[in-house]
Chains A and B, each alone.
Chain A
Amino acid sequence: MDAVILKGRADGFELQLTDSAAFSDILTKLDALLGHLYKDTPSGDVNFVIETGRRLLTAAQKHAVDAVFAKYPRFSTRLLHSDVVDAETVQTRVRQARTNFAGGVIRSGQVLAVNGDLVFTGVLHANGVIRASGSVFVLGTAEGGVVHAGYPDNSLAVAAGRISDLAQIRIADAVEVVEDEDKTAGNLCYMSDEHMLVHADLGDLATLRPQIFKKMEES
């Protein structure tokens, strides 16, 4: 099997760097292949998608590939794709996408912080903080305190459930002080397109944030 295979795609060319070949062979083969192509196509820019299969290129290897392309000014790489990702990236993604469950009492001065969505079944006291990178669903009780969903910058996150007795609702970088007149304002808070925190009924969540439900289906 060749170390580098050129394939035509509907949207351009793809260079497959065979994952079972030695990387040094790939570089030699790539250089030769691009050299031929450069001669065969005397004019015009060409963009390549690079497919590395089950190999993950290190920074040095990416650099080496770029160095080969640098010899052929009309050729460039558009996208680097591989079938695998490293464990750390996977763990971060899993954590981000996970739905966490937490109970117990979050007392004054305590902060409960999670990655991903949070279903809170405990009691949040005044001056306590619940913080999640995703959405926060309060099934327990909140007697004051702060719920911060989408920390620090996920404006698609929502705060839902028993949120009317909170001191503050925060989503991404927006803050709402819950005043007495808000106490009846529904059990869902989300960030509108105008970057305002808006209250709605929980029943509207499926239409307002369909991605939350899609994620549940996928996992």
Chain B
Amino acid sequence: MGTALVVTSGKGGVGKTTSSANIGTALALNGKRVVLLDLDIGLRNLDAVLGLSNRIIYDIVDVANGRARLQQALIKDKRFDDLLYLLPAPQNADKDALTPEQVAAVVAELKPDFDFIILDSPAGIEQGFRNSIAGADGAIVITTPEISAVSDADRVVGLLEQHPMSLKPRLIINRIRPHMMEDGSSMDIDEITKHLGIDLLGTITDDDNVIATSNNGQTIVMDPDNAASRGYRDVARRLLGETVPLAPVQTHKRGFWSRLFHRD
């Protein structure tokens, strides 16, 4: 039986969809069968990030309403043999087109066939959020080292605590800018983790290539040398139960000329 994990944040734009795609891909690279569920109804993106938009015929609402069978709606990512699948969201339906019970039923139907079911939640804490947490066994909370994102993550952790899941919520701090963390202008990893009071699952360095790859329908984890990629790969290994030490935040050593000409 597979494990269903919801990726959520409260705040928009912190990297839920990017993280869902990358964690899913990283798990598939580890040989696990993974299905990604896009629950952002009316504003779907996960298909675009994975480069699978062209192949959407049926979506999760079609499955929930019995217009299509689950197997018809699942899109296989050909790059990963038989390991990575997407169940897309509809683009022209209302957020209320789906109920938590329907999502739970879809997840239950997927569990026997997959090792991981990753639910990409929409921003906010309304219907879409309630739908996303309905079928989940655990939650991955995404935040960035900004006060607004941490504040929203705190609200989400509070809501998750009201609906206890079998696995405790875990935290990913995304878009870490090493130089800002070093000079104290952004919030510290320990500070955020301590404030939110949940276990840290991983940290992801801010990297231009994350955007560049996603614009090409690819995920950064495919690049083994990238810092952000290593972050997601470590997250996947921790999800699989390995003990992976937290990689130190790599600061960019500034050279003599840089220090001379770019004084802060």
For residue A167, which residue of chain B has the nearest CB?
B54
How far does the Cβ of A178 sit from chain B's closest Cβ, in whole Å?
A: 6
Interface residues on A, range: 10 to 19
Which of A26-34, A91-99, A106-114, A152-160 lies at the interface?
A: A106-114
Q: What are the interface flags for B43-66 relative to A under an 8 Å C-beta threshold, 1 for contact and 0 otherwise? A: 010001000011111000000000
Complex Cα spacing A129 to B53, Å: 13
Beta-carbon contact of B91 and A178 below 8 Å: no
Convert A128-143 into 0s and 1s, putting 1 for each residue whose CB lies closer than 8 angstroms to a CB of B. Answer: 0100000000000000
With A127-B91, A129-B92 in contact, do A109 and B53 touch (Cβ < 8 Å)?
no
Chain A residues near B57 (CB-CB < 8 A)? 168, 175
Residues of A within 8 A of B54 (CB): 144, 167-168, 177-179
A109-B92, A110-B92 known; A127 vs B42 contact (CB < 8 Å): no
Shortest A130–chain B CB gap in Å is 13
User: Which of A110, A126, A127, A178 gathers the greatest number of chain B CB atoms within 10 Å?
Assistant: A127
For the complex, what is the distance from the CA of A178 to the CA of B44, rounded to whole Å? 20
Residue of B nearest to A144 (CB): B53
Give Cα A177–Cα B56 distance, bound, in whole angstroms: 9
User: Whole-angstrom distance from the CB of A31 to the nearest CB of chain B?
Assistant: 52
- Whether B92 lies near A111 (C-beta < 8 A) is yes
Give chain B nearest CB distance to A207 CB in angstroms: 30
A108 to B91, CA, bound (A): 7
How long is the Cα–Cα vector from A126 to B48 in the complex, in angstroms? 10
Interchain CB contact under 8 A, B55 and A109:
no
Q: Which residues of A contact B42 (CB under 8 A)?
A: 109
B242 to chain A, nearest CB (A): 37
Residues of the A chain whose Cβ atoms lie less than 8 Å from the Cβ of B53? 126-127, 144, 167
A177 engages B55 (CB within 8 Å) = yes
Shortest Cβ gap from A169 to chain B (Å):
10
Nearest-neighbor residue (CB-CB) of B55 within chain A: A177
A204 CA / B206 CA spacing, docked (Å): 53
Contacts of A129 in B (CB 8 A): 92
Inside 8 A of A111's CB, which chain B residues have their CB? 92
Residue interface mask B15-29, A partner, CB < 8 A = 1 = 000000000000000
In Å, the complex CA distance between A108 and B44 comes to 10
Q: Min CB distance, A194 to chain B, in Å?
A: 20
Q: Which B residues, 202 to 223, have Cβ-Cβ distances below 8 Å to chain A?
A: none
Q: How far is the CB of A112 from chain B (nearest CB, A)?
A: 11
- Complex CA–CA separation, A111 to B57 (angstroms): 15
Chain A positions 162 through 180: 1 when the CB is less than 8 Å from some CB of chain B, otherwise 0: 0000011000000101110
A20-39 toward B: CB 8 Å interface, digit per residue (1/0)? 00000000000000000000
Determine the chain A residues whose CB is within 8 A of the CB of B48 once the complex forms.
126
Nearest residue, chain A, Cβ from B92: A109
Closest to B57 in A: A175
Instruction: Report the Cα distance A168→B88, complex, angstroms.
Output: 15
Contacts of A175 in B (CB 8 A): 57
- CB neighbours of A144 from chain B (8 A): 53-54
Bound: A110/B91 CA distance, A: 8
**B56 neighbours in A (Cβ, 8 Å):** 167-168
Instruction: Provide the bound-state CA to CA distance between A109 and B97, in Å.
Output: 14
CB distance from A174 to the nearest CB of B (A): 11
Query: For residue A168, which residues in chain B have a CB less than 8 angstroms away from its CB?
Result: 54-57
- What distance in Å separates the Cβ of A147 from its nearest Cβ neighbour in chain B? 13
Q: How far is the CA of A126 from the CA of B91 in the complex (A)?
A: 10
- How far apart are the CA atoms of A175 and B48 in the complex, in Å? 19
List 4 tightest A-B contacts by C-beta distance, closest first: A167-B54, A109-B91, A109-B92, A127-B91
Q: Which residues of A contact B (CB under 8 A)?
A: 108-111, 126-127, 129, 144, 167-168, 175, 177-179
Given contacts A108-B91, A109-B91, A144-B54, could you give 14 more A-B pairs where the C-beta distance is less than 8 Å? A109-B42, A109-B92, A110-B92, A111-B92, A126-B48, A126-B53, A127-B44, A127-B91, A129-B92, A167-B53, A167-B54, A168-B54, A168-B55, A168-B57
Q: List chain B positions with a Cβ less than 8 A from chain A.
A: 42, 44, 48, 53-57, 91-92
A-B contact pairs, 14 of them (CB 8 A): A109-B92, A110-B92, A111-B92, A126-B53, A127-B44, A127-B53, A167-B53, A167-B54, A167-B56, A168-B54, A168-B55, A168-B57, A177-B55, A179-B54
